[in-house]
Amino acid sequence: MVNNILDTVKVKKPLIHHITNMVTINDCANVTLAVGGLPVMAHAIEEVEEMVSNSQALVLNIGTLTLEQVKAMIKAGKKANSLNIPVIFDPVGAGATKIRTDASKKILDEVQISVIKGNKAEIGILTGSGGKIRGVEAESNDENIESYKNFAKEYHCIVAASGATDIVSDGNTVYKVDNGHSMLGTISGTGCMLTSVIANFCAVEIDYLQATVSAMVAFGLAGELAASRSEVKGPASFKEAFFDEIYNLTDEKLSRGIKVRGEVN
């Protein structure tokens, strides 16, 4: 499953254009560097087309959205589509407010998304199967695999719903990723960082289903390894250890630590 994708990222050093969450923007940049990519955070509507033209993947994250930012996202997304550059969309807080839900649906309708990655509540709200959001955090973690599959088919994209067990589907194949650790929930920004890692993997692997599953394995495994360190006493030391572990990951480590269940329907 991992198929040397991480090592390829480290060799190719893809440029990942982010229009992203201002709360977590530094962590997204640093995790991109840690896995081997190159981050650029360019939000101005006047430059997004030019920037994405020089990039190998585009991240759209509505964590701190404004209407002007949504316009920039759609402009960048359409340019990426014209150049066959993968677009990874994180609908942070969809369902928390009308503007977030409406913005998510507008982006999905106007841009061909390669991968939509959200928590199970966000994905559930967008699929219509339900979910509860408080602020930008999920209150409910229910999963409806059939709705994820139908959503993937409708939008011709990969759906990645994160949680204690991550669910990834292209509409036909469904994978469950069990890698991860509860400590990942003690620091802000892990969802946004995961989106950035997925973008790095999709930048070098055209099979976006495989790239997404592999990225989620890598992220979860780094969390497991960090939490097992003796020096980790709480969120601050865990975050430091996490960055070290994801930086030192290799495809060989991923092959040994992968926890994925799959089915084809």
| Residue 182 assigned ligand-binding role | no
| pLDDT tens figures, 72-83 | 999 999 999 999
Q: With a cut of 50, which residues of the chain have pLDDT below it?
A: 132-141, 264-265
> How much is the pLDDT for 1?
60
| Residue 82 assigned ligand-binding role | no
> How much is the pLDDT for 137?
45
pTM of the model: 0.93
| Fold annotation for 5-264 | UDP-N-acetylmuramoyl-L-alanine:D-glutamate ligase (3.40.1190)
> How much is the pLDDT for 264?
47
State the Cα–Cα distance between residues 170 and 245, nearest whole angstrom.
29
Q: Which residue type occupies 160?
A: A
> How much is the pLDDT for 142?
53
| Sequence ranges of the domains in the chain | 5-264
| Residue 117 assigned ligand-binding role | yes
Whether residue 171 contacts residue 152, with contact meaning beta carbons closer than 8 Å, is answered with yes
Angle at 47 between CA 43 and CA 50, to 5 degrees: 120
> How much is the pLDDT for 128?
76
- SS3 call for 111: coil
State the Cα–Cα distance between residues 25 and 105, nearest whole angstrom.
23
| Residue 189 assigned ligand-binding role | yes
Q: What are the tokens at 201?
A: 């993997």
Could you write out the DSSP letters of every residue in 131-168?
Answer: --EETTEES-----HHHHHHHHHHHTSEEEEESSSEEE
> How much is the pLDDT for 143?
63
> How much is the pLDDT for 95?
82
| pLDDT tens figures, 101-128 | 999 999 999 999 999 999 988 898 898 7
